[in-house]
Chains A and B, each alone.
Chain A
Amino acid sequence: MEEEHIKYLIEIAGQDRVATDMEDKICFGYDSTRLEYMPDAIVKVSESQQISSILKLANEYKVPVTPRGAATGLSGGCLAVKGGILLVMLEMNRILNINTVDLQIEVEAGVVTIDVDREANKYGLFYPPDPGSLKISTIGGNIAENAGGLRGLKYGVTKDYVNTMEIVLPTGEIANVGTKTVKSVSGYNLVDLIVGSEGTLAVVTKATLGLLPAPPARASLLAAFASTIDAAKTVRDIVSEGVITATLEYIDNVTINAIEDYLKIGLERSMGAMLLIEVDGQKGAVDVEAEIVKKVCTKNNAIACKLAKSDAERDTLWSARRAALSSLARVRPSTILEDATVPRSKIVELVEAVNSIASKYSLMIGTFGHAGDGNLHPTILTDLRNKEEEIRVEKAIEEIFVEAIKLGGTLSGEHGIGLTKAKFLKLEISGDVYALMKRIKQAFDPNNILNPGKLFIE
């Protein structure tokens, strides 16, 4: 970037909204992958018009632009890998309106995910997508990565809740896409194309999100299993019995032991795995579903199955799951959280594959996650300062991906391809589709200025 460009940026956004100091570049050069790429300039934007002007400038001079929310992504989506301008979206954080008849909320891209849900809660509604980082992640980031969460099985993911968006195209046009109606077949479904496009097609500035009535009742169960396989079978059987649970979380033995080391809450260390299951809906229906879930657990040799009788008991049951990642993170200095995902029917095979990969490469892998939707998080506990171990980690990750694809799965359930999985993308999609995706990118962004270096290996 040239001096001249910085001057333009200052003209557009204001002196105190543009930073080029080394200290700022460092702090805006990472995300939760812990990789580091420093931008040349950081711009804190506050309105769509500014973004439009910046993109026009960048497009003219072919300067890379990377949009950034809270930088909690796990695939490097907001890293300025080619330098250039980092668009910080955090100050565009207004909740614009809520419509309790159409069940929609309109927000700016920098609004924090949990704040959308909190606003909805005031009207007896809720916003279902609940990624792990929801307390700080932004809606813009969630849309870019098509963020998921614990409730995916029953309630889907971010893409299922984005109705309309205001976007800024890489060439600078401000456009509105989508519809607020339940049904619409007017032209291509650009909303679904842009959701999950990892900030490579457009900068999302506003969105109208769908909401649902908050379920009046819920029931939580914790089931313990001696064998991982029984736990995984239970996951399949619950759905086969016709129950779509709100959450169906799996926690393996490595993770159980890490949690027990950290929290000391009396978990049985020899347990092969445990499942944390929640059903929600109308009161009577919830009781019936909870009963079915219990039966399935028992049939699959659960050594214990506990139904929470109060909110306090529910909190206790959930405390283990909530602490899963923290507990694993404390075991070794580096924690690599993967999210290879398979069809629910292949959960058993995925669990077995991860376990054998862990022993093959002598690695410690704790697996927990959203088993109900086939989205597990094999979490590699390691020390990336040890180069020899790092090589084993890389090999293991690649093998997990290969196995997941073999099982009819996908590289990433909810974290995105971004930087870290770009080299594996062709494992999953064919050359023709890869080429088609590149043509779509080209159509949106002829000069490849928006979030370059992601998705595709150039």
Chain B
Amino acid sequence: MLLGRFMTDLQYIQVPLWYLPLLVLIPAAVAAGVVSWLGRRARTRVVPENDPDWSVPPLTQGRGQGTSLIHRWDVRCKILTMLAYSFAVASLRHLDAAALAVLFSLAVLMVARVSFHKVMLRLAALAGFMGMLLVVMPLTVPNHPGDTIVVFGSLDWLGVNVRGGILAATIAAKATAIALLMEPLLSTAPLPMTLYGLSRLGVPDMAGQMVLLSYRYLHVFTHEARRMTAGMQARGFAKKTNMDTLRALANFLGMLFVRSFERTERVFDAMQARGYKGRFPDPGQLQLRLSDIFIAGIWVAAGTGLVFFDWLKG
């Protein structure tokens, strides 16, 4: 009876059962495979034949890297503009507007000439989340009047809501568009300079310093954790679902915390011993030029255009 009431508001498209693998399972499997392959490829560090020349700043190396418009852009303008633009993208409601945002982000990537490998790493990190949305939302979104439901053969219980699919695709496209901009935002200036820009925009110094030190010591703590894990495995530790494993993991985490805490104290001592008085020296000078404002203006106009286009779609 309930089905009958909805039958009047919903549009059902019945397709043969063999469409299920053709339209859903095979594309999903291919997409999962491609994402997984890209992720593996992105995580596999390619050993360069020649070690880069570390006597010059990395941003000035490579094929024109460091000379792009985005590299030269004032870091404060870059942060503010990209932040504002990201909010604009996040507010989009239609798939075609979100797709346009992805295209714009790709164009920015081309202009900035950032590392494709790192971009792939960021996308790989998002892929699981987006994949889950694309799979779950068409099946779970509440059916609204006017929705189109695709039914495969006699599997009435497996109605795929097209609106849910479009909604998931829109969210995925917006997330991709924003994620693609992270690389131009973070890799086109040294991290200390970006954090200095944040500080000049009013973010407390301490927050920037914490990010800088966290970035540096994350590697150290990761190495320590790996060595400790190897130390446990060398004495037969293997994760199981039992109290023994929980106790061992608790000891491991406790020891890692104690070692990290002790290191933190030593690092602070080392900083003080070299004259640290609560503030890192400024990494350079920031100078706002007319061209910086001009680029910001174009970018904001693009964001506004996207929002307007989205609004026009209703």
Q: Do A and B come from one complex?
A: no
Binding site for B on A (CB under 8 A): none
Could you tell me which B residues sit within 8 Å of A by CB distance?
A: none
